[in-house]
């Protein structure tokens, strides 16, 4: 049996740990049956954002009339859009693999693996053992038990980026961020979009007020069927083309929705079952995620885990943050606990959404005293220039300590604007004065952040007076 100083399972953020170990001269086994770079590079953040930027260009052309410019989209070369995106992805993945193979400290296993013991793995037909192990094997799309789905061709985030033709009609099962990002992309290019969700709000993990506004805006652009139960799907089998039919029930009434492509985004599940972690003695949560302590150590001594398979911060930047700590805790001299308190996220749909810290429903549930400050984009000079009628910033703060508890944004460049609040939380302890007393370029869009902070009612908890304050200050457009 071959033994290694370190075994890393997963070729995404686990590579950050593997590279540090290799630089220290340790022997490293890297297990990754798919292309290197992980979900983000190959099936997630990178291809989706390249495609969504294309959609943004299309949206700009469609909105040209609002700026008194006559313009129209004369054609969409969909195969070229996909090729431009995936050629880049494939080249990056190949480059990472080439670099790994060129380093003598690495042994790359391009095969599936499963645990045969707490620190032993069967990789293909070879069993290996690690002095230390890092599990960074990620998650995969959950496949809901919908009648007919196992016999019907459908796409998930694992396969949608290889689609060769722009579908005239596409139906999305699930109203989370993956569905909404992809619906924005396809809808902007001309596909007829239907989003089916079992709840009342799309992107329901967001602050409720943000989710409600997002649902309102999204429903203006696309067909959204809420509080719907998917009863059955039918259509061509995998690998074949043809019309797909989705039967849904809403308020006791059924209807059939037909489309050319079915996209399923019903959440994700960790890959602990494929690795047979439970059999090897690893403690798992009810949903199958690896249980880890504050140092990302699993229940098995000498084994750490990070990323989606842990489920604490299911974002690429979250996995990289965890990998940084795993490096310290596996290869350093002092243990360092992971601090998740300032973990931002963004949704790159149209409109964009971003958030950091606690949501209003969290504060209510925990009975934490708070106050609110909100400010609309359109009441700023740049918001008016952009004609963003729907965008707004929402600040949740402690009226006694003057510290930000959470911040949520819907609108243009929300994914960029949120970083001022991230820095204020991380570097200034959330003290609102860090933003209040900083000069903001006029008329930059960032002014909406400062004005939302200025709109926070520090005289007491969230009340009607707080709303009046927002209304009073929201007239400042210059």
What is the pairing mode between strands 113-117 and 106-109? unpaired
442 classed as catalytic: yes
49 known ligand binder: yes
310 contacts 292 by C-beta, under 8 angstroms: yes
175 known ligand binder: yes
The DSSP code for 368 is: -
388 known ligand binder: no
174 known ligand binder: yes
53 known ligand binder: no
* Residue 270, C-beta contacts closer than 8 angstroms, at least 6 positions apart: 138, 139, 287, 288, 289, 290, 308, 309, 311
Per the listing, tokens 């609002």 go with 66
413 known ligand binder: no
- Of 79, 83, 87, 96, nearest in space to 13 by CA: 96
- Phi and psi at residue 137, in whole multiples of 5°? -90, 0
177 known ligand binder: yes
For residues 208 and 206, give the distance between their C-alpha atoms in angstroms, rounded to a whole number.
6
> HSE-up of 24 (CA within 13 Å, CB side)?
16
Distances (CA, A) of 145 to 150, 151, 166, 228, 243: 8, 12, 27, 15, 21
46 known ligand binder: no
180 known ligand binder: yes
> HSE-up of 305 (CA within 13 Å, CB side)?
29
Distances (CA, A) of 279 to 1, 162, 275: 20, 35, 9
190 contacts 76 by C-beta, under 8 angstroms: yes
> HSE-up of 36 (CA within 13 Å, CB side)?
21
| Known binding positions for FAD | 49, 308
| Known binding positions for NAD(+) | 174-181, 267
| Known binding positions | 49, 174-181, 267, 308
Catalytic residue annotation? 442
């Amino acid at each position: 049996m071959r033994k290694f100083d370190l075994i890393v399972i997963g070729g995404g953020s686990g590579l950050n740990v593997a590279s540090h170990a290799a630089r220290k001269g340790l022997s490293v086994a890297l297990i990754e049956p798919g292309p290197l770079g992980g979900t983000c590079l190959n099936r997630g953040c990178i291809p989706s954002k390249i495609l969504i930027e294309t959609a943004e260009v299309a949206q700009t052309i469609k909105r040209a009339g609002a700026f008194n410019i006559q313009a129209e989209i004369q054609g969409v070369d969909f195969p070229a859009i996909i090729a431009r995106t995936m050629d880049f992805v494939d080249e990056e993945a190949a480059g990472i693999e080439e670099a790994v193979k060129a380093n003598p400290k690495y042994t790359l296993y391009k095969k599936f693996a499963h645990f045969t013991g707490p620190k032993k793995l069967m990789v293909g037909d070879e069993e290996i053992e690690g002095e230390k192990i890092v599990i960074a094997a990620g998650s995969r799309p959950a496949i809901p038990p919908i009648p007919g789905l196992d016999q019907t061709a459908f796409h998930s985030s694992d396969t949608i980026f290889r689609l060769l033709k722009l579908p005239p009609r596409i139906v999305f099962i699930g109203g989370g961020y993956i569905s909404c990002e992809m619906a924005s992309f396809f809808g902007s290019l001309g596909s007829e979009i239907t989003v089916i969700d079992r709840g009342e709000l799309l992107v329901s993990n967001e602050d409720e007020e943000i989710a409600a506004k997002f649902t309102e805006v999204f429903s203006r652009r696309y067909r959204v069927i809420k509080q719907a139960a998917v009863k059955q799907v039918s259509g061509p089998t995998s690998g074949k083309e043809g019309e797909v039919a989705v039967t849904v029930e809403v308020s006791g009434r059924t209807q059939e929705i037909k489309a050319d492509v079915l996209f399923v985004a019903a959440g994700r599940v960790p890959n602990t079952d494929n690795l047979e972690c439970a059999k090897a003695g690893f403690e798992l949560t009810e949903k199958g995620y690896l249980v880890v302590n504050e140092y990302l150590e699993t229940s098995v001594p000498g084994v750490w885990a990070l990323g989606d398979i842990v489920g604490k911060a299911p974002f690429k930047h979250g996995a990289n943050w965890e990998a940084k700590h795993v490096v310290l805790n596996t290869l350093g001299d002092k243990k360092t606990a992971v601090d998740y308190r300032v973990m931002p996220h963004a949704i790159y749909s149209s409109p964009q959404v971003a958030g950091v810290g606690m949501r209003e429903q969290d504060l209510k549930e925990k009975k934490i005293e708070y106050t609110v400050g909100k400010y609309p984009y359109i009441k700023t000079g740049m918001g008016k220039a952009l004609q963003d009628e729907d965008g707004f910033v929402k600040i949740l703060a402690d009226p006694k300590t003057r510290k930000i508890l959470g911040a949520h944004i819907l609108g243009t460049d929300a994914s960029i604007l949120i970083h001022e609040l991230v820095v204020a939380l991380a570097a200034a302890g959330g003290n609102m004065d860090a933003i209040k007393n900083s000069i903001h370029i006029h008329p930059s869009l960032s002014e909406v952040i400062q004005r939302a902070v200025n709109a926070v009612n520090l005289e007491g908890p969230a009340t009607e007076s707080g709303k009046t304050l927002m209304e009073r200050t929201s007239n400042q457009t210059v």
